[in-house]
Structure 1
Amino acid sequence: MKSPACNVPAHIYIWDNRVLYAGPGIEPRYRSYGSAALLVGVEGNLRVHRQTHAHEVVETRACLIRPGLPVWLESDSPSLMVLFLDPFQHDLKALATTAGQQTCGILWPLSGEDQLVDLARQILRTPLSPQTVSGILVKLGLPDTCRLEPEGVDPRVARAVSMLRGGRTRNITTEDLAATVSLSVPRVIQLFRQYLGISAGKYRQWHRLHATTLAIAQGQTFTQASVASGFSDLAHFSNTFHSMIGIMPSRLLRANGGVHFYVDPWLSAQGFSTLSGINSAAPTIC
């Protein structure tokens, strides 16, 4: 495999329910995302396999990864696009219908792969606005919303998620969530697996990454943003980012031109505090 190049820019788009990364290729390693993810090799195929099924390697240009699934990812492409999908899996359910087959939680090949590659190349060449990117994603099959939408989700799960979003600086346990929504701990665990595909602790960690990235995009330093989101220090944030995303934040800063952030206008207007609860407004394209 070729070493990921640092001579391509890094671009991060942030919405309330999604985050898109387009930039230098991610280091080959095992990772476990806190949401479903859409992966696209910009200039070459991806090679992906589940940690427990190393002999079943999927080679494809684009694929979907289910949330919380430990997978190995590598690619010869010097650049990569990853779209982290909404936590309630509405996006995953919509895009799964475009996949030809599923192998150990990896869905591939996807219809619209050429359009996804074109989108990634456009972003790397001449960055698009968040509204334009959202419009393209909707045409490719994603739901027409850029806000976290609890529709169709057990209201107790939605309430628990809202609690985790609002308490990102506190260590909220599964027992705390169970007491808040008047359920047993095993039932809370079951419902999180059913609706988010991951544990409550994994989601809290994932949301902290989301909130930290938004704060950095809005002008806070890496240290300020990581501490404000509940990480003990910058090293804690960097190690978590590296283990879940597959690249060190410092490496993004060394990319050609550094890191460019694009925040959905609605999210930007709401500010950092918007990630403290679920917005139940009518779905709106942004």
Structure 2
Amino acid sequence: MTIDALSEVRGPARTPVAWMRPGHIGYVGPDLGVDSHSPSVAMLSVGLDAPLVLHTSAHGRIRTGSSFAPARTTQRIVATEGWILALFVEPAGAPSTTIVDEMTSAAGSFGLNHRRERELVERCRAEKINPDHIYACAIAGTAPPADPRIEQVAATIRTDPSQTFRADRIAANLGLSTTHFLRLFTQQYGTTFRGYQRWNRMIHTVRKAVAGHDLTRSAIDAGFATPSHFSETFRDLIGLSATTMLRAGIRFDLGTSPTQ
């Protein structure tokens, strides 16, 4: 998409918004100066006013209208102008393959130029943003059938992120070897068993903090050993500090609790 085409869907200045849903977490707003990071889940980024610049160690700088990074890949996204969409797709909601199929080109493991890029821009520039419509537009395809055993394990992690789950015990309860269980989990959820636990602890912490609870207490309650452990995890997964995000004037739409 050209800069001229993008400029056609610009709207008046509004308050940045971030949302949390059971299957996806998103942000629409100005570039927050995110550093290189490696999320535990897949991430789709879209330039809403101009192309983005994707920075990777293997490919250098890539200018693109939108980019997709699989879970656990290191990247840095910079908006050349205006606002961006950053959509973290939790594997429980839709395997990353449904977005990969919508990218029209690639650079290694990174997908470039989403097929519905223009529609995504328009939905993000709507007077009232609907996160579920943005998500549906991004994934487009139908997720492959899920193994109910693995799905139940992930649901338990989301329900009680503070608990430390051991892969060997879960595998034994399922009648599987630990290696086979871990392979099935990664295949179905697009990230590691441990990475999925870290992601959900972080989401639980942020949800509580946005709801008005003390950030430090929320981090401990979510299962982080120390506040610094949470801070390091957040920066590694998101690319900036939690404090910076919470003080950025963002309107948070918490939607439905992921435990419901």
Partner of 2:243: 250
Match of 2:201 in 1: 208
Q: In 2, distance between residues paired with 1:259 and 1:177?
A: 39
Contact 1:47 1:58 in 2 (8 A): yes
209, 218, 229: which one pairs with 1:236? 229
Offset at residue 71 of structure 1 (A) = 2.5
Q: What SS class does the counterpart of residue 31 from structure 1 fall into?
A: coil
* SS at structure 1 position matched to 2:161: coil
- Confirm whether residue 175 of structure 1 aligns to residue 168 of structure 2: yes
Structure 2 Cα separation of the partners of residues 192 and 91 of structure 1: 12
Taking structure 1 as the reference length, the TM-score comes to: 0.75
Aligned to 2:133: 135
Residues 23 and 135 of structure 1: is their aligned pair in 2 closer, same or farther, counting only changes over 3 Å? closer
- Bigger shift: residues 26-35 or 189-198: 26-35
The answer as to 2:96 corresponding to 1:92 is: yes
1:34-53 matched pairs, under 5 angstroms: 34-51=40-57, 53=58
Structure 1 residues 43 and 200, CA gap change in structure 2 (3 angstroms): same
- Of 102-111 and 71-80, the range deviating more from structure 2: 71-80
Equivalent residue, structure 2, for 1:4:
none
Say whether 1:259 aligns with 2:250.
yes
Contact 1:20 1:82 in 2 (8 A): yes
- 1:158-201 superposed Cα distances (whole Å, 9 cap, x missing partner): 13223322442122232233223221121122112211222111
Match for 1:14: what amino acid? Answer: M
Quote the residue 1:54 is aligned against.
Answer: 59
TM-score in terms of structure 2 length: 0.81
Q: Which residue of 2 aligns with 1:282?
A: none
* Structure 1 residue runs without a partner (length 5+): 1-6, 269-273, 280-286
Distance 2:240 2:210 in 1: 18
Please give the per-residue CA displacement for 1:222-274, whole angstroms capped at 9, x wherever unaligned. 2232222112333322221111111112212332xx2311122xx15xxxxx5
**Aligned equivalent of 1:31, options 37, 43, 48:** 37
What code does the residue aligned with 1:203 have?
Y
Structure 2: gaps of 5 or more residues: 1-12
Conservation of the 8 A alpha-carbon contact between 1:20 and 1:81: yes
Q: How many residues align?
A: 248
AA aligned to 2:162 is: T
Q: Distance in 2 between matches of 1:135 and 1:170?
A: 33
Q: Is the 8 A contact 2:24 2:135 kept in 1?
A: no
TM superposition shift of 1:118: 3.0
Counterpart of 1:77 (choices 58, 77, 81) is 81
Question: CA offsets per residue over residues 115-153 of structure 1, 9 Å max, x none?
Answer: 32233344xxx553xxx3313443555479xxxx9x711
Kindly state the Cα deviation for residue 49 of structure 1 after the two structures are TM-superposed.
4.6
Equivalents in 2 of 1:139, 1:158: separation in Å? 24
Partners of 1:50 and 1:189 in 2: how far apart?
28
Distance change >3 Å, CA 133–CA 50, structure 1 → 2: same
3-state SS of 1:29 partner: coil
Q: 1:221 aligned to 2:219? A: no
SS of residue in 1 equivalent to 2:78: strand
| 1:193 maps to amino acid | T
Looking at structure 1, the residues matched to 34 and 131 of structure 2 have their Cα atoms a distance apart, in angstroms, of 27
CA root-mean-square deviation = 2.8
Aligned counterpart for 2:25 among listed residues 4, 19, 39: 19
The structural deviation recorded for 1:9 is 4.6
Q: Which aligned segments of 4 or more residues in structure 1 are displaced greater than 6 angstroms?
A: none
